[in-house]
Amino acid sequence: MPPLKPDVTIVHAQRADASGDTQAWGLLGCQKEAAFAAERVIVVVEELVDEAVIRADPNRTIIPGLIVDAVVVEPWGAHPSYVQGTYDRDNRFYLDWDPISRDRAATEAWLKDWVFGVGGRAEYVEKLGADRLAALRPSGPAPSGSVNYGEYR
């Protein structure tokens, strides 16, 4: 069987620099392999950092900028999933979704409210609410050079 060659791979990670050097830690799955297999690579990150941050911790660089076509900075971009060290999985979101997904009318209403009824990702995050997002932030100090837990940008 021939290997997969996706047209585009989209990877979510903790941080990248403007050149696309992308750092991630935690459970990585096959993000690195998928990126190297693709014709084009888009990385979505919680934070854009200076090249010096990447260079100071090179063992976290899983995707080199030379294969990255675009970097998108989108805090909370993996929600309702998690990004290790940045925010936890939103279990309530998944639990709420389970009964909704079993009913066509409920699913359509949910899509109208949460997908088609928001003007973009920023409005989606705002709709979640600051208290809910704060509850998903891990306690303790942030990893060096990572997202400022005290604010959403």
Mean pLDDT over the full length of the chain: 90
pLDDT tens-digit series, residues 88-110: 999 999 999 999 999 999 999 99
**Distance from C-alpha of 31 to C-alpha of 34, rounded to nearest angstrom:** 5
pLDDT for 138 equals 86
CB 63 within 8 A of CB 30: no
The domain segmentation of the chain, as residue ranges, is: 8-74, 91-133
Q: Is the pTM of this model over 0.85?
A: no
